[in-house]
């Protein structure tokens, strides 16, 4: 049988079978079909209802967003949407020295820019200093994001928004703001465009972990606890004002001053000029960034005689009642050591200090010896790098090999270069009972200071040094620093500067190391003036006529603020200290 024949037979059998079914089985088959049809309709209905609800929800949300009132008219996002915060820096009384403010930066999405030339032209109408070539390059690049200008002012943002440029947007950021401007620039420091500390205490804060947390994305946008500094903004303003005035008066290349608590090492004020405005640090890049107080090294001149005499007294080999022959110059190694205002006679130790005798001081150093001299200056912190929070700290310089000629010249302040700040710190140890306390720019109690202090001279030696400072303040070169009632004592230092390897007499570095009240010292003040013009008839050649008056102006204005009470006799005159 062929294949087609078999097909025909099967069809006929199927027809016969269908025709022979019973009516009951046919009714059952028809009911099943109706049930399945109803289920299918129900499923389609459920799908339609689901899609209807879904699109109704979406439509409702769109209507809600369309009619809802905006929460803010500013394009700057709320604080919780901004970049991570830095802690405020405040002075010891809570006055703000540095804080974050909200700002925006301008960016472009080059792939959305239609006409780069038009964009550059429009932006130039708002940003007058826009780098046209650089901006055009960014707008035509293959990248999808380019910064065009960081930290715009609100006015600039508003004007650019009004231009309606597609492909241009704003990103919220935070900008560091320094309310005092240049007042405490070198202490507070500044941040870079990404709000990271690069100088001063701003950099110190980052070094304590803030920068590391930011690098791994663990910083928060929430306000951080303020960092309190030891500065007193009122005293800081006075110090800077005095320093600025001095640099103008003496037409100097630099000047500076510091006020420090002799017991705790706290820096109450410190200024170095030229300085800069941390709100716009780039403008001071050439000269203003150098902190001459802590990051500049200088030969401190006769202020070093204080340390030489303290060293000699502390060894016990020299007594304050001893005398030294200052009649004849000292000749050594082809050099002649003589006194600037020689008396041509024997001088007692107080007279050596008062008349600033190079000969007498050199002979005291010779009594101690070269190794003892070097060891003492190291112990008192003048030959090693100072330890403090401020990052900008210079390493002192000294001769590679100390010979007798080196010890002699170093005894009166030539041959070793130190920073003015560490000279003040060492000076504090001479009059606070003999304790060397490293300086701090953070608050510190006396109890905390005692834990880190080092006894470097005997208390009896410190008593003698207070007496010498007092005598020089009343009768000697420190007279111009006297403030009625506050018993200022100190030591001047007038040093010839080195130019091309030789000392020159027309370029001076003048300094004054002072303390008050000298009978019971609370604060040390160091002032300096770098290369004052000596041909103006203003007495700038000597520290007693330039640096000492700076100390007078600072102490007379700052002492009442610091709570130091003046002492007067019954007749209203200043009460002198007796030893």
How far lies 420's CA from each of 103, 261, 521, 522, in Å? Answer: 39, 16, 19, 19
Q: Region of 236 please: left (phi>0), alpha (psi -120 to 50) or beta.
A: alpha
Contact 181, 277 (CB under 8 A): yes
Contact 436, 383 (CB under 8 A): no
536 contacts: CB under 8 Å, gap ≥ 6? 250, 251
DSSP state of 520: S
Contact 418, 382 (CB under 8 A): yes
Q: Region of 485 please: left (phi>0), alpha (psi -120 to 50) or beta.
A: left
Question: Within its chain, how far is the Cα of 505 from the centroid?
Answer: 35
Contact 254, 292 (CB under 8 A): yes
Structural tokens at position 255: 């000047």
Nearest to 227 by CA among 85, 82, 86, 438: 86
Told to judge if 37 belongs to the known catalytic residues of this protein, a careful annotator would answer no
Nearest to 406 by CA among 314, 332, 305: 332
- Residue with the two structure tokens 């769109």: 62
Choosing from 182, 294, 302, 464, the catalytic residue is: 302
Contact 177, 99 (CB under 8 A): yes
Q: Give CA–CA dist 531/251, Å, rounded.
A: 8
Q: Give CA–CA dist 426/434, Å, rounded.
A: 10
Rg value, the chain, Cα: 40
Contact 171, 157 (CB under 8 A): no
DSSP symbols for 176-190: EE-TTTTTTHHHH-E
406 contacts: CB under 8 Å, gap ≥ 6? 370, 399, 415
461 contacts: CB under 8 Å, gap ≥ 6? 310, 313, 314, 430, 434
**How many residues are present in the chain?**
579
Contact 139, 109 (CB under 8 A): no
Euclidean distance between the first and final Cα of the chain, in Å? 147
Exposed, middle or buried, 490 (CB in 10 Å: 0-12/13-18/19+)? buried
Catalytic residues: 302
């Amino acid at each position: 049988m062929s294949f087609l024949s078999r097909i025909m037979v099967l069809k006929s059998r199927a027809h016969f079978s269908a025709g022979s079914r019973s009516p009951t089985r046919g009714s059952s088959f028809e009911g099943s079909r109706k049930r399945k049809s109803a289920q299918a309709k129900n499923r389609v209905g459920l799908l339609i209802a689901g899609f209807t609800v879904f699109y109704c929800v979406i439509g409702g949300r769109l209507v809600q967003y369309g009619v809802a009132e905006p929460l803010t008219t500013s394009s700057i996002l709320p604080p919780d949407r901004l970049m991570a915060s830095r802690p405020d820096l405040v002075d010891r009384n809570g006055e703000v020295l540095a804080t974050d403010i909200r700002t925006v930066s301008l960016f472009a999405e080059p792939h959305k820019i239609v006409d780069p030339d038009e964009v550059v032209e429009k932006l130039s109408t708002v940003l007058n200093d826009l780098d046209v070539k650089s901006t055009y390059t960014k707008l035509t690049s293959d990248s999808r994001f380019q910064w065009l200008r960081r930290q715009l002012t609100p006015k600039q943002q508003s004007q650019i928004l009004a231009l309606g440029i597609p492909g241009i947007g704003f990103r919220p950021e935070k900008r560091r703001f320094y309310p005092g401007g240049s007042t405490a620039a070198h202490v507070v420091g500044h941040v870079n465009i990404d709000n990271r500390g690069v100088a001063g205490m701003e950099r110190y804060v980052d070094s304590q972990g803030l920068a590391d947390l930011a690098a791994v994305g663990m910083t928060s946008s929430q306000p951080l606890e303020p960092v309190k500094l030891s500065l007193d903004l009122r005293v800081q303003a006075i110090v800077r004002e005095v320093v600025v005035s001095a640099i103008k008066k003496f037409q100097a290349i630099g000047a500076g001053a510091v006020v420090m608590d002799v017991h705790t090492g706290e820096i109450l004020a410190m200024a170095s000029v030229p300085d800069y405005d941390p709100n716009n640090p780039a403008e001071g890049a050439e000269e203003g960034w150098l902190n001459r107080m802590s990051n500049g090294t200088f030969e401190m001149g006769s202020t070093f005689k204080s340390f030489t005499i303290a060293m000699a007294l502390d060894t016990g080999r020299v007594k304050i009642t001893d005398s030294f022959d200052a009649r004849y110059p000292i000749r050594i190694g082809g050099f002649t050591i003589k006194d600037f205002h020689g008396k041509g006679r024997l001088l007692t130790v107080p007279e050596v200090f008062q008349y600033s005798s190079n000969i007498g001081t050199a002979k005291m150093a010779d009594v101690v010896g070269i190794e003892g001299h070097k060891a003492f200056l190291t112990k008192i912190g003048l030959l090693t790098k100072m330890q403090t929070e401020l990052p900008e700290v210079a390493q002192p310089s000294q001769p590679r090999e100390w010979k007798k000629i080196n010890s002699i010249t170093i005894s009166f302040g030539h041959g070793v270069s130190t920073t003015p700040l560490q000279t003040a710190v060492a000076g504090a140890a001479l009059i606070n009972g003999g304790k060397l306390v490293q300086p701090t720019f953070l608050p510190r109690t006396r109890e905390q200071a005692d834990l880190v202090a080092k006894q470097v001279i005997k208390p009896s030696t410190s008593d003698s040094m207070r007496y010498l400072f007092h005598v020089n303040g009343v009768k000697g070169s420190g007279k111009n620093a006297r403030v009625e009632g506050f018993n200022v004592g100190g030591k001047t230092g007038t040093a010839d500067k080195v130019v091309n390897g030789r000392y020159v007499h027309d370029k001076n570095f003048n300094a004054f190391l002072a303390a008050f009240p000298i009978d019971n010292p609370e604060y040390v003040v160091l002032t300096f003036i770098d290369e004052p013009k000596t041909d103006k008839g203003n007495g700038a050649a000597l520290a007693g006529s330039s640096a000492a008056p700076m100390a007078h102006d600072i102490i007379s204005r700052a002492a009442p603020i610091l709570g130091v009470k003046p002492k007067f006799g019954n007749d209203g005159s200043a009460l002198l200290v007796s030893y």
